[in-house]
Structure 1
């Protein structure tokens, strides 16, 4: 059964699922998997953009009240006034949750990032301070972000594992577009072979760490790309396979 959305009032949008990427017409950010779609107009919306909340908050921001806007609030359209998501550090181009008091901004999908995450026996906290290099891209700051809005990082309780949340998105999109999603994850994880060797003394522990990293990235990518159903699927597949 289709639903009407104010941003596309001429036709109903139906819940679809395809194994290809798309660009959400609401927040202008990429997505994959399930989406609300109008075939006639090639119009897609993330589930989070299809059903936004009028107001929301986030555990990471104390006493915050984010209001939903279909366009980023700004005084003018110059580059200096460009708004950036405080979660991923990327520009805000469409739908956004904005805290008027503090000037914070979140993409609709980014606001779903949990402040705490546990993968196997490893606990991660969401952090807005860059303390060390990301274990994936080997950089402190993500490319494409701006000074003052560096994007969030998940940091393990032991403070040895640091992952930019946006690295998961880029890795997932690259693998998905090539049509070899699962294989690309295994190949891409070779990038963190050296850090893994430093943290693990034997092959058994190394394999466990690789598995943990795979689950972590799949979980975060599913949230940021607007298909949380994949999150549960990824977790179940990984845990049942081991």
Structure 2
């Protein structure tokens, strides 16, 4: 097998090749949106997140620190007839997933691989460290609520972002491309669509224009890095691409 090439059970007729592009795609494994690195077959319009492509590689169960008693097994489709949802982001899980038969918990492959610490470099020595948490301990910067899903919280405790909120911003913004979760509904025009709602905030801060401006800057940086992680390619290249269109 050549480097950057993969034979995968989900697409047996052709090998998949590793590509890196700023064109959004819909993963044929987990059925979620992606950006950046993917294994794809361009003639068949078939794409897999790198995490989804690797999910079935190991027969050993997946262990996650948020669920120490769970043994997650990879499944190409959800078990049973009832709809399943991801315990990390709260979205439906109609495709590839990790499932614990004992507890009934499910995780998208990309959600299962979310980094537990994100280092967001704000420039000028003003960085931000975000920690993944199973439950939000303060109101989400985006929706103003505590519950819902896993979240990323800043080390200073001022910024909290639900993984679900970030995912919803992506899906809502790219709806015109994916027509409710399917393949692209219109020809690609070369422009990354703006993420609607990324600038909105329910976070209350102290008075003063300087404080407001700094809060918005740091919050935008936090959103940028959480988005890159949720997309399944938390690299500097993708973070830069995402950061270029958060506030357009």
TM superposition score category, shorter chain reference: 0.7 to 0.9
Q: Deviations over 1:96-124 (max 9, x none)?
A: 11222322211000012233445456554
1:38 aligns with 2:41: yes
Distance in 2 (alpha carbons) for counterparts of 1:231 and 1:113: 17
Aligned-residue offset at 1:213: 1.8
State how many pairs are aligned.
218
- Given that residues 97 and 106 in structure 2 are in contact (C-alpha distance below 8 angstroms), is that contact kept between their aligned partners in structure 1? yes
Alpha carbons of structure 1 residues 32 and 12: separation in structure 2 relative to 1, 3 Å: same
Alignment of 1:1-242 (within 5 A): 2-52=5-55, 53-54=57-58, 55-74=61-80, 77=81, 81-119=82-120, 122-129=128-135, 131-140=137-146, 150-157=148-155, 159-172=157-170, 179=191, 184=194, 188-192=197-201, 195=203, 198-230=204-236, 233-234=239-240
Distance in 2 (alpha carbons) for counterparts of 1:2 and 1:157: 39
TM-score, with length taken from structure 2: 0.72
Distance in 1 (alpha carbons) for counterparts of 2:92 and 2:192: 29
Q: Deviations over 1:187-207 (max 9, x none)?
A: 845422x63xx4244444433
SS at match of 1:209: helix
Q: Deviations over 1:50-70 (max 9, x none)?
A: 112433222222243222111
- Given that residues 33 and 231 in structure 2 are in contact (C-alpha distance below 8 angstroms), is that contact kept between their aligned partners in structure 1? yes
Once the two structures are overlaid, the 10-residue window that deviates more, 83-92 or 131-140, is 131-140
Gaps of 5+ in 1: 142-149
Alpha carbons of structure 1 residues 188 and 180: separation in structure 2 relative to 1, 3 Å: farther
Once the two structures are overlaid, the 10-residue window that deviates more, 99-108 or 202-211, is 202-211
- Given that residues 155 and 162 in structure 1 are in contact (C-alpha distance below 8 angstroms), is that contact kept between their aligned partners in structure 2? yes
Once the two structures are overlaid, the 10-residue window that deviates more, 41-50 or 10-19, is 10-19
Aligned-residue offset at 1:71: 1.3
Distance in 2 (alpha carbons) for counterparts of 1:215 and 1:189: 11
CA RMSD after TM alignment: 3.1
Gaps of 5+ in 2: 121-125, 178-188
SS at match of 1:211: helix
Runs of 4+ in 1 over 6 A off after TM superposition: none
- Given that residues 32 and 225 in structure 1 are in contact (C-alpha distance below 8 angstroms), is that contact kept between their aligned partners in structure 2? yes
Q: Deviations over 1:176-225 (max 9, x none)?
A: 769355xx46x845422x63xx4244444433332322222222222222
- Given that residues 198 and 223 in structure 2 are in contact (C-alpha distance below 8 angstroms), is that contact kept between their aligned partners in structure 1? no
Q: Deviations over 1:9-36 (max 9, x none)?
A: 1011112233332211111111122221
SS at match of 2:43: coil
Distance in 1 (alpha carbons) for counterparts of 2:117 and 2:72: 20
